[in-house]
Amino acid sequence: MLETYTFSPYLMLYIGAIIQSLMLASWVIAPQNFKTENPKLALIYEFFMKLGFVTTFLFGIVFLDTAIFWLANQWIYADWRFQLPTVILLLILGFQYVFGSFFVNPKLSDLLYGSGAIVAILIYLHFIVPLGRLRTTVVQFVGVLIVLMVVYLLLWGILSYLDRKSRFSGKNRELWDITEKAQQIFSRKFNLVLYIIILMEVWLKLFGSSLFIW
Amino acid sequence: MREVNKNSRSLAKTIALKGALIFLIIMPIVSFFIISPYFYLHDSPEKKPWVSWFNDPHERVYISWETEEETKGVLKYGTDKDDWDVEITENKSSKIHHLSLTGLDPDTKYYYSVEVEGEEFGAGMFRTAPSGFKEFTWVMISDTQQNLGPGHHYRVARVLEQKAEDYSFIANVGDIVEQGADKRYYDNFFQIASHYFDKLPFVPVIGNHDDRSVDQFTEYFINQVNTSQDHFYYSFNWSNVHFCIPHFAHGSESEMTDVQLNWLENDLARAQDKTFIVVMFHCPVIGASFFGENEVLMKNVKPILEDYGVDAIIHGHEHHYERGHLGDIMYMILGGGGGAFDVGLRPLPETEILTASPCYTEVEAKKGTLTFSTFTLEGSLIDEYTIEAED
């Protein structure tokens, strides 16, 4: 057993369901590839897009981390039928959020933000939290996400500034673009079905059951 | 003008459609938290009989039940359910009924039947504690509270219903209900627990959620050891095991009263002739989840437990299963009895096994060993640990 901190996959799946519901709701409000000539509206749209990317990306890392460490640490002791559906759904959700946020058509700066956030989360969860023996709180969890958001926005600011400097701007080009392929795989239909499956699992969990236990 | 009206109608239609879609998407999530309690919390004041005690289960137990209206009940009991030995008629009407059965023979199976207004209200059986050594098995669960949705206590109850006759009694290590001051939670708990209450006497341990109304707790679980201090503690012996149940629901300074700590010391001192001492209190001294190490219990209670050679301490509070060693004392956290699981897990150096799954723990007491086995509800063994008696 690794002496490290692992979030509960059950809790993470509730959060995943909330994020997924907000994402689907946002698609209803603002269609994919939304374009406007109104500069104010464009700015608001861009802000919410960025916020959405950062949120899904950070939670994506936490979801993947939870699923991987849960598999490595805990689940062998209990019933796989209870735990496995939640863990599989977290892996799918986490992969989609991390991959979709920064790795579809990334610039060098995107990879830098992404790697920085991943390292910060891993250090916090697996090196800093295990140092303590006293009470852990939900506030700490929310706190770490706020700190990561701030770090991200700072990095974004600095790199945007550097981006304007000619020396960095030349290097900070798009590294690859697989948007079309990604949109085919992680389509709206896929996300709606995924949301329904997650909802079923979350509801069943509230009754102490799961998709594999009826 | 007509064009403007047409556009407005079209916009209103779009907004209504999008609003309805958003409502449909978000509603299932919101309903977890807001609506779901209304599906499982409803007033059902009648509670079928249950058996408990607070001192000597060799010769005295209590049978309790609750009726919707104030009634007088008739309790019949004996060793043969076709030929009752004793019939007691209550002399005053009440809703919550407690009848004391005294002068019972040790290690004897008794049957009972409760009649209300001429009709059978409930029936069941129990076994008294043996006066000397006899192998026995008891079962433990904890945190049957419904803190997020209906939880899985009902699934635990179905499993225990099938196995009830294998056990002498069931201990619930606290947070029996989510809101100790809200009677509807007790209604729901008793309804689910009625699956096993007719075959298994109940050993309650008070938890921090039950503690929100000690008055409500003691209305259901009778205890005359300490009624003036707002604390619910007691102890009893069964075969070669002494069970000590202090009131450490929060692990807070307010629970470290001289009265309770003196009682604990005296009780453990008197139990030194028993092969094993098991102490059950809700708040863990250390745990791998949310609450971590409790400094108050570490400072005030752990030294007493060590001084008197306690073999095992059993807790709830944290919603996962955990076993480890606190010095020489084995500790267990049995938080898989019904409530939603913890936010996260952080194994401590003392932790030996840890998981989050619905589960129950049975304990087999033999002459020189106590074997703790924890199972999932599907019957898979999660953990087994044996404590051997010191020579």
Same domain for B109 and B172?
A: no
The last residue of one of the domains, among B76, B92, B127, is B127
A-B contacts at Cβ under 8 angstroms: 141
Is residue B39 a part of any domain in this protein?
no
Closest chain A residue to B25, measured at CA: A21
Is the Cβ of A142 closer than 8 Å to some Cβ of chain B? no
pLDDT per position as a tens digit, B188-222: 999 999 999 999 999 999 999 998 888 889 999 98
Confidence of residue A200 (pLDDT cuts 50, 70, 90): very high
Q: Report if residue B41 sits inside a domain.
A: no
The CATH number for B88's domain is 2.60.40.380
- Asked if residue A113 belongs to a domain, the reply is yes
Q: Are residues B329 and B226 in the same domain?
A: yes
Amino acid identity, position A77: Y
Does any domain span residue A106?
Answer: yes
Cβ neighbourhood burial of A116 (10 Å; 0-12, 13-18, 19+): middle
Q: Is the pLDDT of residue B390 over 90?
A: no
Of A57-71, A165-179, B78-92, give the lowest mean pLDDT range: A165-179
Domain residues for B13?
Answer: 2-34
Distance CA B360, CA B375 (A): 6
B123 and B148 share a domain?
Answer: no
B79 and B143 together in one domain: no
Instruction: Note the Cα A96 to chain centre separation in Å.
Output: 8
Tell me if B197 is assigned to some domain: yes
A128 interfaces chain B, CB cutoff of 8 Å? no
Q: Does ipTM surpass 0.90 in this model?
A: no
Whether B109 and B192 map to the same domain: the answer is: no
Considering the domain architecture, whether residues B287 and B310 belong to the same structural domain is answered as: yes
Q: CATH number of the domain that B279 lies in?
A: 3.60.21.10
pLDDT at residue A155 greater than cutoff 90: no
Query: What range does the domain containing A139 cover?
Result: 9-206
Residues B189 and B286 both lie in one domain: yes
Q: Is A129 on the interface with B (CB under 8 A)?
A: yes
Total structural domains in chain B?
3
Q: Which of A173-182, A203-212, B42-51, B173-182 has the highest mean pLDDT?
A: B173-182
In a domain, B40, yes or no: no
pLDDT tens digit sequence for B106-144: 999 999 999 999 899 999 999 999 999 999 999 999 999
Mention every residue, 6+ apart, whose C-beta is less than 8 A from residue B97: B64, B65, B66, B67, B73, B90
User: What gap in Å lies between CA A114 and CA A103, rounded to an integer?
Assistant: 9
Domain-embedded: residue A60:
yes
List, for residues B24-42, the tens digit of each pLDDT value: 888 887 777 676 676 677 7
Q: How far apart are CA B296 and CA B74, in angstroms?
A: 47
pLDDT band (50, 70, 90) for residue A130: confident
Using CA coordinates, name the residue in chain A closest to B359: A78
Chain B positions in Cβ-Cβ contact with residue A141 (cut-off 8 Å): 343-344
Residue B141 shares a structural domain with residue B122 = no
The answer on B148 and B120 residing in a single domain is no
Please tell me which residue, B97 or A46, carries the higher pLDDT value: B97
Please give the tally of structural domains in chain A. 1
* Predicted structure pTM score: 0.89
Shared domain check, B152 and B116? no
Q: Which of B127, B156, B178 is the last residue of a domain?
A: B127
Calpha distance B66→B95 (Å, rounded): 5
Residue B252 has pLDDT above 90, yes or no: yes
CB contact under 8 A, B347 and A199: no
Indicate the residue among B61, B92, B127 that finishes a domain: B127
Inter-residue contact B336 to B321 (CB < 8 Å):
yes
Q: Is residue A213 one of the residues assigned to a domain?
A: no
Residues in chain B closer than 8 A to A191 (CB atoms) = none
* Domain shared by B24 and B152, yes or no: no
Q: At what angle do helices A188-206 and A80-102 cross, to 10 degrees?
A: 150
For chain A, positions 57-116, list CB contacts with chain B under 8 A: 73-75, 77-79, 81-83
**A140 interfacial to chain B (CB closer than 8 Å):** no
Domain membership flag for residue A214 = no
